Chain A
Amino acid sequence: AQSVTQLDSHVSVSEGTPVLLRCNYSSSYSPSLFWYVQHPNKGLQLLLKYTSAATLVKGINGFEAEFKKSETSFHLTKPSAHMSDAAEYFCVVRGVGSSYKLIFGSGTRLLVRP
């Protein structure tokens, strides 16, 4: 069975400092992994995706993530946080077989201090 574990429920950073949101995955197969962001009262938006191409994936708004098979990790980073980055972030693995359902982690709420 596939799953993802987000290691922090809340992360607080100062504006202009780096962001690190941690995610570990479990998968019997080569996984497809995603990060989604959810701003208040808005739908979920795809930040970036890994589908077995380059292990360093660049997404929107300056975010990137690195797939590390040896560590079963897919951490999300950004060099410099902006106030507008404050939101909830979900690490996601896609199911295999006949269903392409997305399996979400429990989420990490990012707070950005001025």
Chain B
Amino acid sequence: GAGVSQSPRYKVTKRGQDVALRCDPISGHVSLYWYRQALGQGPEFLTYFNYEAQQDKSGLPNDRFSAERPEGSISTLTIQRTEQRDSAMYRCASSLEEGAAQAFFGQGTRLTVV
């Protein structure tokens, strides 16, 4: 696609429910990143893929969070048993190759847990 696409744009869910956030990177981009941005703060790294391989998941806050990119393209970030503290903007970015200077960001998914 022309840019990084994330869906849904907005998600409201009840505490305890599972949610899946989707990221469709720019076609041909090797690397894909997930970030989380709380209100009034900068994005914080969650996890990173090269092709389908998860290279770094050190930023995932706990085992309720997981991500996959099974075919090296679309990625899903899943949060199980959501809690109110999970409310944030979740951003996806992709880059043409590993270590490329520029990452392209999607518009994000605003998650609200009530």
Contact = CB atoms under 8 A, between A and B. Distances in A.
Q: How large is the interface on A (under 10, 10 to 19, 20 to 34, 35 or more residues)?
A: 20 to 34
Given A99-B55, A100-B99, A101-B59, A43 B105 contact: yes
Q: Is the interface of B mostly helix, strand, loop or mixed?
A: loop
Q: Is the interface of A mostly helix, strand, loop or mixed?
A: loop
Interface of A: 32, 34, 36, 41-46, 49, 51, 90, 92, 95, 98-107
Interface residues of B, number: 30
Given A90-B42, A98-B56, A43 B48 contact: no
Nearest to A99: B56
A41 B59 CA distance: 25
A53 B45 CA distance: 26
A101 B48 contact: yes
A101 B35 CA distance: 9
